[in-house]
Chains A and B, each alone.
Chain A
């Protein structure tokens, strides 16, 4: 199934299923007050309250940019005519995950998820399948000892992988990559953190691939003595890549039954709503 859409920039592009479009917004590049004012006009009253609740101008601006990115991104990927970003309505699923409330305008199969850091906001959009996305600054410093942190929160297999890395910088980077992958999974699942505690699943890289990962879930088998079994069959697909050279981005999508095992195409665009839009990369992940 192919979808052709007109973007706000009057360029048309088509999206093949299953595919995913992370849009990244470098927040430090947006400074104009008139532009920010234009953005705030897109927000609902509830969203404006959310922005006001943030403590400090930088945080307020980031919150504004995040909502703007979500609205403008979703509205550009419509199957029918162009949708006014202001008209979109949102709701939360029973676990608190934000979703579009299409009301009665023929349920669109679009899913989205957003992640922000101090300097970059990413919004991922998929068709038909739930998505989770997490971005982190590559240079983010962990205040605790990385292995102690991993032992506390990650799975035993992940701790073992990290423990074999001798260089502390490389180890820290691997820790961050794993964090983004695990976060992306929990966000894609959409059932809150208690549905998938970090130490109950392992994400491991697929040998011979670059940026492709596998999910293994540990569950206890009632035996005597109780054993832990690992199930590494599909269900979820992962991709890890760089954004703007400065961030790691992890994307997790549900493996569509109709397209099970099919490669995922990920299109990355850099955007400043109403100002610029730039194709960064198109990649296939196995």
Chain B
């Protein structure tokens, strides 16, 4: 089971997840048998890694970024697009985060807000927070 985790974690994961990945690996090595019922975080982590932020989420984030930065509608944005490369300053980034909070009905910690640098990172954080919300 531990080796299965290792292979699924070997492809590129978004940077925000890297600390949690190392925690899961450490947990795996200290226990002989791993029952997934006890490791809620590792089970959900594997699911999150195998499907990256949904394309719809990335699209919604892109739309909000375009609006905040007043980019033309045909500006080609990818998930790797960096806010700073698009001309966003810190005030723009904070406004983008506020717009994302409103759109997705989530609440972002200030430390996380300032650490978002790409569209992918924003989308991943959103899906993370949406998933953590108590079921309606």
CB of B110 within 8 A of CB of A183, answer no
CB of B87 within 8 A of CB of A54, answer yes
Q: A148 → chain B, closest Cβ, in Å?
A: 8
B99 adjacent to chain A (CB < 8 Å) = yes
Task: Add 8 more A-B contacts to A54-B85, A140-B91, A143-B95 (CB < 8 A).
Answer: A55-B87, A59-B86, A143-B67, A143-B99, A144-B99, A149-B98, A193-B90, A198-B110
B94 adjacent to chain A (CB < 8 Å) = yes
Contacts A143-B99, A149-B98 given; indicate if A59 touches B87 (C-beta within 8 A). yes
Q: Which of A55-88 contact B (CB under 8 A)?
A: 55-56, 59
Q: Across the interface, which residues of B come within 8 angstroms of A59, CB to CB?
A: 85-87
Contacts A183-B90, A197-B111 given; indicate if A142 touches B82 (C-beta within 8 A). no
From A55, A179, A192, A194, give the contact of B91 (CB < 8 A): A179
CB of A153 within 8 A of CB of B114, answer no
Please report the C-alpha to C-alpha distance between residue A55 and residue B81 in the assembled complex, in whole angstroms. Answer: 9
- Total of A-B residue pairs, C-beta within 8 Å: 48
Please report the C-alpha to C-alpha distance between residue A54 and residue B82 in the assembled complex, in whole angstroms. Answer: 9
Task: Show the binding face of A for B, using Cβ within 8 Å.
Answer: 53-56, 59, 116-118, 136, 140, 142-144, 149, 152-153, 179, 183, 192-194, 197-199
CB of A55 within 8 A of CB of B86, answer yes
Task: Show the binding face of B for A, using Cβ within 8 Å.
Answer: 67-68, 75, 81-82, 85-87, 89-91, 94-95, 98-99, 110-111, 114-115
Please report the C-alpha to C-alpha distance between residue A217 and residue B121 in the assembled complex, in whole angstroms. Answer: 31
CB of B95 within 8 A of CB of A53, answer no
Q: Across the interface, which residues of A come within 8 angstroms of B68, CB to CB?
A: 143
Q: B92 → chain A, closest Cβ, in Å?
A: 9
CB of A194 within 8 A of CB of B110, answer yes
Q: B88 → chain A, closest Cβ, in Å?
A: 10
Q: A48 → chain B, closest Cβ, in Å?
A: 14
Q: Across the interface, which residues of B come within 8 angstroms of A54, CB to CB?
A: 85, 87
CB of A56 within 8 A of CB of B95, answer no
Contacts A53-B82, A55-B86, A144-B98 given; indicate if A193 touches B114 (C-beta within 8 A). yes
